[in-house]
């Protein structure tokens, strides 16, 4: 069985390759599809098949997916992403791929998150393709929060419009491990997984960061208008400020929360706690 992954040079894709190798999948049975093969020469040196294709160009995808039995489409982002994904899905149909997995967003069919429409459109394209599928609806990575630690340490506060909402964040490595399980297993036909970790609030994140760093970090929750103004005052342009504010409004509405145990069930071990991700972030 040959397993293919798009976006294999990026964080989640690369971690998924490592999980597959650790789990016993032979390197020569892994196809890493990347835009720039020079970024994964280490994988090629280990025996992984590296093939070139670009979301922005239809050319090359049919050849890149030749012989692939199970494919993970690691999502792109931004306007028009679903059309880029369609290029890959169409090529998968032509190549006779037997199963497609796709990294979507938590609660993709109900959330008002600004990223959700492209994800949900891609889900529908996959379901219409006739290829058996697994939709991996990922919660926000811990790393999306911990990457801002330097900013929080510099200002002494976390400012957002999330309020006291529960967020089912998870470590990127755990989500990669779940993807690897789905890819390497023979099941998961026509399944939608809601993948989230142990929920936390931004107040709890601030307390964890304070305890770990030894510096007092407070959480300041603003309303949407004040938060957008705050972002623009710090140099964020108006369009991006509106996007970030809409994202926070979605989190505040509880749309990045799930009570599903799908992630822990797939991984089959304890998930990485937020405290560990915070320590790594520091």
In angstroms, the CA 53 to CA 9 distance is 12
Q: Is residue 156 part of a domain?
A: no
Per-residue pLDDT at 17: 98
**Domains identified in the chain, total number:** 1
Question: Which tokens hold the place of 75?
Answer: 């999502």
Per-residue pLDDT at 186: 75
Q: Is residue 207 part of a domain?
A: no
CA pseudo-torsion sign 182, 25, 168, 240: negative
Per-residue pLDDT at 59: 86
pLDDT of the chain, 282 residues: tens digit per residue: 999 999 999 999 999 999 999 999 999 999 999 999 999 999 999 999 999 998 878 889 999 999 999 999 999 877 788 988 999 999 999 999 999 999 999 999 999 999 999 999 999 999 999 999 999 999 999 999 999 999 999 999 999 999 999 999 999 999 999 999 999 987 788 999 999 999 999 999 999 999 999 999 999 999 999 999 999 999 999 999 999 999 999 999 999 999 999 999 999 999 999 999 999 999
Rg (CA), the chain: 19
Q: Is residue 23 part of a domain?
A: yes
Q: Is residue 127 part of a domain?
A: yes
Please provide residue 59's backbone torsions phi and psi, each rounded to the nearest 5 degrees: -65, 135
In angstroms, the CA 245 to CA 161 distance is 7
* Polymer length in residues for the chain: 282
Here the CATH number for the domain that contains residue 51 is 3.40.50.720
In angstroms, the CA 206 to CA 137 distance is 26
Q: Is residue 212 part of a domain?
A: no
Q: Is residue 93 part of a domain?
A: yes
Q: Does this model's pTM top 0.75? A: yes
Give the residue numbers spanning the domain of 116: 3-138+171-196+259-269
In angstroms, the CA 243 to CA 256 distance is 16
In angstroms, the CA 237 to CA 221 distance is 20
Q: Is residue 48 part of a domain?
A: yes
Contact 103, 118 (CB under 8 A): no
Inter-CA distances, 154 with 7, 13, 16, 48, Å: 33, 32, 33, 42
Q: Is residue 209 part of a domain?
A: no
């Amino acid at each position: 069985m040959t397993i293919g992954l798009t976006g294999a040079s990026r964080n989640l894709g690369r971690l998924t390759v490592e999980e597959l190798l650790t789990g016993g999948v032979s390197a020569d049975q892994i196809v890493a599809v990347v835009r720039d093969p020079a970024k994964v020469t280490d994988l090629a040196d280990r025996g992984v098949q590296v093939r070139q294709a670009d979301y922005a160009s239809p050319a090359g995808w049919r050849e890149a997916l030749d012989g692939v039995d199970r494919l993970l489409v690691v999502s792109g982002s931004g306007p028009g992403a679903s059309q880029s994904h369609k290029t890959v899905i169409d090529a998968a149909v032509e190549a006779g791929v037997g199963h497609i997995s796709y990294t979507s967003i938590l609660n993709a069919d109900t959330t008002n998150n600004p990223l959700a429409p492209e994800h949900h459109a891609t889900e529908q394209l996959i379901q219409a393709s006739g290829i058996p599928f697994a939709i991996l609806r990922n919660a926000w990575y811990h790393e999306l929060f911990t990457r801002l630690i330097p900013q929080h340490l510099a200002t002494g506060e976390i400012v957002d419009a999330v309020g006291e909402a529960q967020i089912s964040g998870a470590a990127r490595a755990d989500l990669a491990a779940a993807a690897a399980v789905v890819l390497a297993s023979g099941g998961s036909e026509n399944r939608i997984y809601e993948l989230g970790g142990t929920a936390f609030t931004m107040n709890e994140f601030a307390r964890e960061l304070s305890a770990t760093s030894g510096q007092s970090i407070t959480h300041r929750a603003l309303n949407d208008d004040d938060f957008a103004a705050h972002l623009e005052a710090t140099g964020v342009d108006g369009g991006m400020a509106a996007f970030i504010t809409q994202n926070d409004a979605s989190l505040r509405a509880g749309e990045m929360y799930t009570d599903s145990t799908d992630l822990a069930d797939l991984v089959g071990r304890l998930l990485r706690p937020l405290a560990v991700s915070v320590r790594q972030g520091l």
